[in-house]
Chain A
Amino acid sequence: MKFRPMAIFEYIGARFTVLMEELGGIFSTFLQSIGLLFVPPFRLKLFFKQMEFIGVESSFIVLLTGAFTGMVFALQTSYAFRLFGAENLIGPSVALSLARELGPVLTGLMVTGRVGSAMAAELGTMRVTEQIDALSTMSINPVQYLITPRVLSSIIMLPMLTVLFDFIGIIGSYFMAVFLLGINGNRFISDTIYMVDLKDVYVGLLKAAVFGAIIAVVGCYEGYFAQKGAEGVGKAATQAVVISSVSILIADYFLTALLF
């Protein structure tokens, strides 16, 4: 076979085109789903069902991750701070890192694994078994019926889960610092309150809301446009987790640069 140097550029170009199409599709799905939020009928039951699935049912996994993240963070920072005799900074540094960074990002990644993949699999199955076509033929807009409640619920529930993550993480680090490392409990609390601004918390929550939108839109998009039967559904679920996770980390960088 003859070597064609242009083939490399053709390959890169083709991949880039696919990527841009995918991003365009995801963004237009997001705009459509938000636009349809203001068009009747309003199906409150679907919103509550999704909020329960995304929020309430994810709370245990978020609590578990949050507690251990806070504890391990306290343990790790204590080694460094002890060198300078600055153990009192354990509380504030854990709280700041959780509120600004770890809370929203780790909550986002945990929920992606649990919820994003489930959304892609559910909608993908509905696509390949013609259930989405059935909705259309019953004069029901499938985007409004399936995607809008998931996107809105995810945008609302992710910040709430992040609050839970932050709170339980700080409690975890408190127990680690006070009971295992022997730091004064009152000092831990007062230093933490003194060093952490409200802005640190709410910018973290804003990030979480953006991650919520990413998780739901990507999961729904991949499932909604799934093709080729069971294989397509599996691929949609994998793609949803990969694209959401990478997008969360990239979005996190830009949001941090812009907002803090």
Chain B
Amino acid sequence: MRIDIKGLRKSFGNNVVLDGIDLTIEDGKTTVIVGQTGCGKSVLIKHIIGLLKPDSGQIVVNGVDITGLKHSEFTGILKNFGVLFQSSALFDSMTVGENVAFPLQEHTGLSPAKVMDIVKEKLAIVGLKGVERLYPSELSGGMKKRVGLARAIALDPKVLIFDEPTTGLDPVMSDTIDNLIMNTQKHLGVTSIVISHDIAGTFKIAHWIAMLYKGKVVLYGSPDDFRNTKDPIVRQFLERRAEGPLQVEA
């Protein structure tokens, strides 16, 4: 699925968060969105999955502008999306198995046995076995992310969205999650959108990278474009320097 974001604007009170974003998410590729904390990455994602409505601008998914759709029409498109939230967002009153089974039970008429088979298959894809009966509170951060990913791919979505998938994880687990994102993208052929602060991970998994700054896209290009850019804002961000044009907001 191809997603075109055109002139997207969003303000909260006087705070302009998105100031005319133009961005194309290519079909079947991984696009990583980077930028400082609070630069509007999560807000952008929330627009794509319909949790927020823009002040102006369009989000066109496979030729359909989703910003003007009715709730019932939008839910049809939303079924093609799988989202891995920053906090994993597992339902803590349900077991791991029930969490992964949940979208299947809600949206398919499959028998409980078939649902269980798919749950095991999806958990195996993310490298987990025999955890179906555990509760989210019994899992480590990395395991939660993997269960969250298993739930996100339960309905075989066409678009996968990852909101800071490696934040708060150790480097080894971060790399494991990065590999999972790459493998899932490769095997399922999905369009992936990843929000990240992790520079090394970004260069590893991205086909395309977009950097947001002050509500606008400052650079969109391949990892090589980013490595070779002379843009001082992008350079400062990639080189992890506090000094430069990028300022930490007080």
A residues adjacent to B (C-beta < 8 A)? 41, 125-126, 129-131, 133-134, 136-141
**Is the pair B107, A136 in contact by a Cβ cutoff of 8 Å?**
no
Closest to B71 in A: A141
Point out the residue from B71, B81, B87, B106 that lies within 8 Å of A129, measured CB to CB.
Answer: B87
B87 contacts across to A, CB distance below 8 A:
129-130
Which residues B40-93 have CB closer than 8 A to chain A? 46, 49-51, 71, 75-76, 78-79, 81, 83, 85-87, 89-92
Do A138 and B51 contact each other (CB < 8 Å), given the known contacts A130-B86, A131-B91? no
* B residues contacting the other copy or chain, number (CB 8 A): 22
A125 contacts across to B, CB distance below 8 A:
92
**Is the pair B89, A133 in contact by a Cβ cutoff of 8 Å?**
yes
Point out the residue from B51, B81, B91 that lies within 8 Å of A133, measured CB to CB.
Answer: B51
**Is the pair A130, B85 in contact by a Cβ cutoff of 8 Å?**
yes
For A129, A131, A133, A137, the residue with the greatest tally of chain B CB atoms inside 10 Å of its CB is A137
CB distance from A35 to the nearest CB of B (A): 13
* Bound-state Cα–Cα, A158 to B107, Å: 33
**Number of residue pairs spanning A and B whose beta carbons lie under 8 angstroms apart:** 43
Closest to B99 in A: A134
B residues adjacent to A (C-beta < 8 A)? 46, 49-51, 71, 75-76, 78-79, 81, 83, 85-87, 89-92, 102-103, 106-107
Do A137 and B91 contact each other (CB < 8 Å), given the known contacts A130-B85, A130-B86? no
Do A137 and B75 contact each other (CB < 8 Å), given the known contacts A129-B89, A130-B89, A131-B91? no
B83 contacts across to A, CB distance below 8 A:
134, 137
The 3 closest A-B CB pairs, nearest first, are A130-B89, A134-B89, A139-B75
B75 contacts across to A, CB distance below 8 A:
139
Closest to B103 in A: A138
* Bound-state Cα–Cα, A137 to B154, Å: 13
**Is the pair A138, B106 in contact by a Cβ cutoff of 8 Å?**
yes
* New A-B pairs, 18, CB < 8 Å, besides A133-B51, A136-B51, A139-B106: A41-B106, A125-B92, A126-B91, A129-B87, A129-B89, A130-B85, A130-B86, A130-B87, A130-B89, A133-B89, A134-B89, A136-B49, A137-B51, A138-B102, A138-B103, A139-B75, A139-B78, A141-B71
CB distance from A15 to the nearest CB of B (A): 19
**Is the pair A136, B50 in contact by a Cβ cutoff of 8 Å?**
yes
CB distance from A108 to the nearest CB of B (A): 26
CB distance from A128 to the nearest CB of B (A): 9
* Bound-state Cα–Cα, A131 to B78, Å: 16
- 14 A-B contacts (beta carbon < 8 Å): A41-B106, A130-B85, A130-B86, A131-B92, A133-B46, A133-B85, A134-B83, A137-B81, A137-B83, A139-B75, A139-B78, A139-B79, A139-B106, A139-B107
